[in-house]
């Protein structure tokens, strides 16, 4: 899963569950994005590994299985 696919999945999940989801491309350094999911804020790098995706999802209070059925 690349960054764009993860962003689409998070947008879909947030819309489906009525959560707040925002992407800030300006505040991130270089090619990094800052994302806000509910009250959680984290940095989303350009290159993602499966472990990095799991850690990012954990930081925003989600489990990887939450995005599987979208």
Q: Domain for residue 21, yes or no?
A: yes
Q: Is residue 70 part of a domain?
A: no
Q: Is residue 54 part of a domain?
A: yes
Q: What is the pLDDT of residue 38?
A: 93
User: Residue 30: helix, strand or coil by DSSP?
Assistant: coil
Furthest-apart CA pair in the chain: how many Å? Answer: 32
What domain range is 26 assigned to? 3-64
Distances (CA, A) of 16 to 23, 27, 32: 17, 26, 26
| Res 23: pLDDT | 93
- Going by the DSSP 8-state scheme, the letter that residue 48 receives in this structure is -
- The pTM for the full model equals 0.88
- Residue 28 vs residue 2, higher pLDDT: 2
In a domain, 69, yes or no: no
Q: How many domains does the chain have?
A: 1
Q: Are 21 and 11 in contact (CB under 8 A)?
A: yes
Per-residue pLDDT tens over the stretch 19-63 = 999 999 887 667 899 999 999 999 999 999 999 999 999 999 999
CA distance 46 to 63: 21
Bridge partners, 40 (sequence order): 37
Residue 32 lies in a domain: yes
């Amino acid at each position: 899963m690349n960054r764009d696919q993860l962003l689409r999945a998070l947008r879909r999940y947030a819309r489906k569950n009525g959560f707040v989801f925002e992407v800030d491309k300006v505040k991130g350094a270089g090619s990094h994005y800052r994302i806000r999911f509910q009250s959680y804020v984290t940095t989303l790098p350009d290159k993602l590994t499966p472990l990095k995706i799991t850690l990012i999802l954990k930081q925003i209070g989600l489990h990887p299985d939450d995005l599987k059925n979208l």
